[in-house]
Amino acid sequence: MEPSVVYEDDQILVINKPSGMVSNKSQTIQEDTVQDWFSRKYNIVESPDSEFLQKQGLVHRLDRDTSGAMVLAKTEEAYNGLKQQFLERKTVKKYLALVHGEFKEQSGLITATIERHPKDRHKFTVGGDLAKASITEWIVLQQFTDMTLLELIPHTGRTHQLRVHLQHINHPIVSDPIYGFQKRIKDDLAISPRLFLHAKYLEFQHPSTAFRVHFDVDLPEELQQVLATCTLK
């Protein structure tokens, strides 16, 4: 398992991360990660002397089970420029998600705050910490019987934000093992063998040229097949 390259120049690399691959290294992760793959590919040796070398080019992350567009930095200059854009929310990210239920409206905003779950440190939940304000925009793309294909635009970058927000409005993502309907997970996996969440679009200012650039990554074949089996409303 390894990413496919969408775009590359002397400053950045844009990849299509496969579902099932972890973005960043940690002491609890044994398998190969995007960070491992990238550091091998460009011989970027981890070092505490600079944040770029410590992160080995990793500017942002996608959840293990989420596929799609990621940008990595090949130089310290690119890393610092991209990191600042993510911190200042100057990037644009769009996702596709198949969720449970049908929607009465065609679009909307979810503005619930997100914080770490008080009883399970591996999960996040909607809470009352106003410092953790979170905003997700949703747009209905296709309505199926008992399911809906959404475009999701996160305006903040909380961990598991999209998954927690959709659970909060009682429209969890199909085949979500953490935030989905637990009693229906077997039925979900029969519909979609993986979490139906894909980062399809990424836009940012190129750290060298200062021009806005954007990249589209098609829905993976296995998720296209899932949609082909859904019944239109």
Domain positions in the chain are 4-229
pLDDT value of position 162: 97
- Name the H helices within 44-105: 51-55, 76-87
At residue 59, φ and ψ (nearest 5 deg) are: -95, -35
CA pair distance 194, 188, nearest whole angstrom? 9
pLDDT digits (tens, 9 = 90+) for 96-124: 999 999 999 999 999 999 998 888 888 99
pLDDT value of position 87: 93
Average pLDDT over residues 128-142: 89
CATH code linked to domain 4-229:
3.30.2350.10
Task: Give residues with Cβ within 8 angstroms of 204, minimum separation 6.
Answer: 71, 82, 85, 90, 91, 92, 212, 213, 214
Has this prediction a pTM greater than 0.85?
yes
Q: Is residue 63 flagged as an active site residue? A: yes
Instruction: Catalogue the E-assigned strands of 114-196.
Output: 114-116, 124-126, 136-144, 147-154
Of the listed ranges 84-88, 113-117, 161-165, 166-170, the least confidently predicted one is: 113-117
pLDDT value of position 183: 85
Strands 67-73 and 197-205: what pairing?
parallel
pLDDT value of position 203: 98
**Stronger pLDDT, 49 or 86, i.e. the higher one:** 86
pLDDT digits (tens, 9 = 90+) for 11-47: 999 999 999 999 988 777 778 999 999 999 998 888 8
Of all residues in the chain, the percent with pLDDT exceeding 90 is: 79
CA pair distance 156, 93, nearest whole angstrom? 10
pLDDT value of position 131: 66
pLDDT value of position 128: 80
Average pLDDT over residues 64-88: 96
Q: Exactly one of 36, 63, 120, 146 is catalytic; name it.
A: 63
Predicted confidence (pLDDT) at residue 169 exceeds the cutoff of 90: yes
**In what helix (H) or strand (E) does residue 16 lie, and over which residues does it extend?**
strand 12-17
